[in-house]
Chains A and B, each alone.
Chain A
Amino acid sequence: MKRRVSRMVLAATAGAAGLSILLSSALPGKPGPAIPQPSVRRLTEAQYRNVIADIFGSGVEVVGRFEPDMRVDGLAAVGSSAVSITASGLEQYDAIARHVVAQVFTPENRARLVGCAPGASDPDGGICAADVIKRIGLRLFRRPLSIGEVRAGVAETLSASDALGNFDDGLGATLVGMLTSPSFLFRIDTPGRSGPPGAIDAYSKATRLSFLLWNTSPDDTLLAAAASGAIDGPEGLRAEVDRMIAAPRFTDGARAFFDDFLQLSDIDHLSKDALIYPAFSTSVAAATREQTLRTITDLLIDHRGDYRDLFTTRRFAMTRALGPIYDIPVSQPGWSIHEFPAGDPRIGLLTQASLLALHAHPGRTSPTLRGKAIRETLLCQKIPSPPANVNFAVVQDVNNPTLKTTRQRLEAHLDDEECASCHKATDGLGLGLEQFDGAGQFRRTEHDIPIDVTGKFDKVPFDGVANLGQLFHDSPKVSECLVSSVWRYANGRNVQAEDQPAIDTLNRGFATNGYRFVDLMRTIALDPTFYAMQRLPAAGAITTARATSSKRNAS
């Protein structure tokens, strides 16, 4: 057995080596014939959790550590088309699954979730097992199970029941297998039997739609629309899209997008120096993430607002834990909307503690990290890595007698032309946010010197973050970046040249409809191209090789 496994590993490795040969030997200008290929996306942690809660109820806990998501050009949704599952990752999925299944069979859950047992008419429980496997399998695999799959599941249940001495343990083992199955952990399209070439079947359509709008697997209604074929027609599709957008769960879908887009999951690993920033803690960090998501959905979903207003809004979701960071009293328990008065430095997304703290060092600010993050996430620009051999010494000296502020020290560093080309792009924006310290708290001075927050964005001068927010509001780059990011999130891949016309159309529609995020999502969900398989050249058909950066940008 040992030898067999190592052979297989070698084969996999050889496959990877072969891949690079294919790529390097592909001649430019001679692409192979384009073949539609199903997308294969691994469920994210949030999706896994949502699906379990949908099927088994929110009382069923999901405990364990997931295989980390991977960002490709900023989005984990794109990375989901590049990642696999390692052995240690699968071990975790297996452990999580066993814990979930154990809860299915507790006295308080069993009747609701299993609902049958071996009895006089079903002595070995085979009928019961088939019923449960079909019902839960439909939700987990997002399609009906084949007769063969049900039969194998029942056989597995019965033999396991014998081995373990009771029916529930046997059925539980089968459910664990379903929860570790690639049919559950990966979303793999099934080509449609009818329709144009490259179309996917109705269940795959329902799956794409549901993960886009709700970040979870299709509910019973949507599955029924797939079963009847209703969503294959424009009317049926529209009815489902409207229903899903009107539902409260659409907020979850929007949150999932913005969490990915703004890379807020990185806040899970954010730590600040407790001596320098005593007001900051792990729970405060988590609250900043929630604040940003709630602020966004309040504006974009609840008020059907204009995306651009996110950069000028004074309405911030607020909770008590954030009072010390924002230096305001918060009397209400839970979450509420706090409106900052005109003239207050808190205005728009750029002044939220989540982004300010995330893109700073543990003990001080970093205009460079802030500027880089803003350009990369909100403007979809690429900032190259710094050259390897750089002398940063002048930036460092925080006690420099003449260069007292971060701005003065950074500007000294810009004397170097090689540095200047990138740092002008990053630092200029970041310095506009210098009135917020490394934990996102407002300050007016650094070493008793008033902080200068002037700068230029796209050659237009600004003085302070309110000005900068207005420039973001008015910049087409900001709204275009959102559109292309939503498109990449929806499709799980980067934009290729042939996709550009579709994106141009989306951009025009977005502007015409007043920059409504909800309408943008609706347009994508109704667009037939969203349900088409990507056409890739037959040889070297590698989506991952095209990506140019990843989560690991170490400095």
Chain B
Amino acid sequence: MRHSISRRGFVLRGVLGGAAVTVGIPILDAFLDDNGAAFAASMGGGSLPVRFGTWFWGCGMIPERWVPQKAGANYDLPPQLEPIRAVQQHVSVLSGFDVILDGKANLPHISGNTAVRTGEAAETWQAITAPTFDVLISDAIGSGSYSRALDLSLDGNPQTSYSFRNGSTINASVPSPMELYEKVFGADFHDPNRADFKPDPKFLVRKSVLSGVAEQRRALLAKVGSADRIRLDQYFTSVREIEENLSLKLQKPPRAEACVRPDAPAPIKGDITDIGVRKANHKLMTQLLGMALTCNQTRVFNMNFDTAAAELRRAGDTTGYHQSTHEELIDRSLGYQPTVDKFALGTMEAWADFVQTLADVKEGAGTLLDNMLVVAHSEVSLAKNHDVAGIPVMLAGRAGGRVKPGLHVKGSGEPISRIGLTAQQIMGVPVDSWGGGAMRSNRPVSEILV
């Protein structure tokens, strides 16, 4: 770690030594030389960047109505997967991968998610010491864009996030399309296609100020106990990330041909817990996300369609989705819970819509989706009894040609950590095995790899 006084000193001295009133542009240039490679490396430097994201939904599915029979390409679509028919060629289904609890309690709606995301179940939030795999991926690829990652939720609650460094460092979500617009396309938007790019000295000043903040690191860390040292170090890591983002804002970004700053979205009226309203909001959020990716504002995202233990409802019903999964009687003539089935279908419709929206964005010779890997998953399989065996996972996108889409892979009880491992390896994280205890695995899901 070099929060070097010397580097900051250079900036300060440089500017002080430049022209007295106006900004010393040569100084800026000198400064930029220090960092200039960042965009070239992360934004493709000619080829298109590969982005990574997760799409989370709550309360799983009904296995006998969701899991395809046939493995490989052109897999069959059971009733709950029928909504993905139009995008099936983009979507791989990974069924039968299990969370192995290893003797730990199954905390309803928590254990499954923790295990999928961190490769190991934990009995309390604060016992979680491992980062989620999206964080590991953003550590590897997220630093060369304006936001390390975009964490998004649609329930209006910034705490709805399953992306964390550990159980007490959770990446809060942007909880509405309107806020996402402000964050990405608001006053600070950096249009990659602007002809007249000039570095704005205010970014240089902000960066210099943060360097000053970072200089307190050593003294503060020496002052506190070991657990607090980790917390403060996380804070200083955040400082560095923002410094780096500001450096990028001082550089002329590479052109992004398909990037067009969208209009501000109009809020959608209605109860956001109603599944119909939720889908409309999700559509809006997805369109903004697609443009944010196209405009190279971020390379990693986490979209939370709803919460673990889905809080979705239909306006006017006394009982919501989550309650229905536990309480609805199985209809004897149908053989399943009909209300639960409807919510699961609605959720798969939203997922299909997500995939289609990204596949519709042209980029280079292909589409935005071709240059993405999306891992969609839930926190349970059959929500009725919080089953964490066979938690449903789907992948979308070709990851720039690294992934074969449109396959069904049967996990046959293998640990679900294999999927997190695979995603990391595809995205270039140097990792050969991942997960904890019985969930540790060194075997990627090779069927989907090119």
A contacts, CB < 8 Å to B: 1-2, 4-13, 15-17, 19-20, 22, 35, 37-38, 40, 65, 67-68, 70, 72, 79, 82-91, 94, 152, 155-156, 158-160, 162-165, 169-170, 173-174, 176-177, 180-183, 185-186, 188, 190, 269, 271, 273-276, 361-364, 385-393, 395-398, 536, 541-545, 547-552, 554-555
Q: What is the CA–CA distance of A89 and B110 in the complex, to the nearest angstrom?
A: 23
Residues of A within 8 A of B192 (CB): none
Question: Is the pair B230, A362 in contact by a Cβ cutoff of 8 Å?
Answer: no
- Given contacts A37-B225, A188-B224, A396-B326, A17 and B208 within 8 Å (CB-CB): no
CB distance from B17 to the nearest CB of A (A): 10
Residues of A within 8 A of B315 (CB): 273-275
- Given contacts A159-B15, A165-B22, A181-B213, A70 and B168 within 8 Å (CB-CB): yes
Question: Is the pair B239, A16 in contact by a Cβ cutoff of 8 Å?
Answer: no
CB distance from A73 to the nearest CB of B (A): 10
- Given contacts A38-B224, A177-B213, A547-B126, A162 and B247 within 8 Å (CB-CB): no
Interface residue count for B (Cβ, 8 Å)? 113
CB distance from B230 to the nearest CB of A (A): 5
Question: Is the pair A84, B231 in contact by a Cβ cutoff of 8 Å?
Answer: yes
Question: Is the pair A554, B110 in contact by a Cβ cutoff of 8 Å?
Answer: yes
Question: Is the pair B159, A15 in contact by a Cβ cutoff of 8 Å?
Answer: no
14 contacts across the A-B interface (CB closer than 8 A): A2-B143, A2-B244, A10-B139, A35-B225, A82-B231, A84-B232, A84-B234, A86-B171, A156-B209, A159-B16, A169-B202, A364-B319, A385-B107, A550-B126
Question: Is the pair A541, B227 in contact by a Cβ cutoff of 8 Å?
Answer: yes
Question: Is the pair B232, A67 in contact by a Cβ cutoff of 8 Å?
Answer: no
Question: Is the pair A363, B126 in contact by a Cβ cutoff of 8 Å?
Answer: no
Q: What is the CA–CA distance of A541 and B224 in the complex, to the nearest angstrom?
A: 11
Question: Within the complex, which residue of A16, A85, A361 is in contact with B166, where a contact is CB–CB below 8 Å?
Answer: A16
- Given contacts A12-B233, A396-B329, A388 and B108 within 8 Å (CB-CB): yes
Q: 8 closest A-B pairs (Cβ-Cβ)? A: A396-B327, A177-B209, A388-B106, A392-B326, A37-B225, A363-B318, A84-B234, A388-B386
- Given contacts A70-B170, A547-B126, A177 and B238 within 8 Å (CB-CB): no
Question: Is the pair A40, B172 in contact by a Cβ cutoff of 8 Å?
Answer: no
Question: Is the pair B313, A363 in contact by a Cβ cutoff of 8 Å?
Answer: yes
Question: Is the pair A182, B220 in contact by a Cβ cutoff of 8 Å?
Answer: yes
Question: Is the pair A16, B232 in contact by a Cβ cutoff of 8 Å?
Answer: no
Question: Is the pair B1, A8 in contact by a Cβ cutoff of 8 Å?
Answer: yes
Residues of B within 8 A of A37 (CB): 224-225, 228
Given contacts A2-B144, A388-B111, 5 further A-B contacts (CB under 8 A): A19-B226, A160-B208, A276-B316, A544-B227, A554-B110
Question: Within the complex, which residue of A156, A176, A541 is in contact with B226, where a contact is CB–CB below 8 Å?
Answer: A541
B333 at the A interface (CB under 8 A): no
Q: Which of B35-43, B46-54, B405-413 contacts A (4 or more CB under 8 A)?
A: B35-43
Q: What string of 1s and 0s marks CB contacts (under 8 Å) between B231-268 and chain A? A: 11111111111101001000000000000000000000
Question: Is the pair A162, B309 in contact by a Cβ cutoff of 8 Å?
Answer: no
B130 at the A interface (CB under 8 A): yes
Question: Is the pair A94, B242 in contact by a Cβ cutoff of 8 Å?
Answer: yes
* B38, B125, B223, B232 pick with most chain A CB within 10 angstroms: B125
CB distance from B36 to the nearest CB of A (A): 10
Residues of B within 8 A of A543 (CB): 227
Question: Is the pair B316, A275 in contact by a Cβ cutoff of 8 Å?
Answer: yes
Question: Is the pair A545, B316 in contact by a Cβ cutoff of 8 Å?
Answer: no
Q: What is the CA–CA distance of A172 and B232 in the complex, to the nearest angstrom?
A: 25
B190 at the A interface (CB under 8 A): no
CB distance from B268 to the nearest CB of A (A): 15
* B129, B149, B232 pick with most chain A CB within 10 angstroms: B129
Question: Is the pair B110, A362 in contact by a Cβ cutoff of 8 Å?
Answer: no
Question: Within the complex, which residue of B108, B168, B273 is in contact with A544, where a contact is CB–CB below 8 Å?
Answer: B168
Q: Which of B150-158, B280-288, B342-350, B363-371 contacts A (4 or more CB under 8 A)?
A: B150-158
Residues of A within 8 A of B233 (CB): 11-12, 15
CB distance from A541 to the nearest CB of B (A): 5
CB distance from B370 to the nearest CB of A (A): 25
Q: What string of 1s and 0s marks CB contacts (under 8 Å) between B132-151 and chain A? A: 00000001100110011101
Question: Is the pair B329, A393 in contact by a Cβ cutoff of 8 Å?
Answer: yes
Q: What is the CA–CA distance of A85 and B239 in the complex, to the nearest angstrom?
A: 9
CB distance from A536 to the nearest CB of B (A): 6
Question: Is the pair B143, A6 in contact by a Cβ cutoff of 8 Å?
Answer: yes
B201 at the A interface (CB under 8 A): yes
Q: What is the CA–CA distance of A535 and B156 in the complex, to the nearest angstrom?
A: 41
B124 at the A interface (CB under 8 A): yes
Question: Is the pair A85, B238 in contact by a Cβ cutoff of 8 Å?
Answer: yes
Question: Within the complex, which residue of A164, A396, A542 is in contact with B227, where a contact is CB–CB below 8 Å?
Answer: A542
Question: Is the pair B329, A548 in contact by a Cβ cutoff of 8 Å?
Answer: no
* A165, A385, A552 pick with most chain B CB within 10 angstroms: A552
B425 at the A interface (CB under 8 A): no
Q: What is the CA–CA distance of A545 and B126 in the complex, to the nearest angstrom?
A: 6
Question: Is the pair A188, B220 in contact by a Cβ cutoff of 8 Å?
Answer: yes
Query: From A166, which residue of chain B is reached at the shortest CB distance?
Result: B21
CB distance from B329 to the nearest CB of A (A): 5
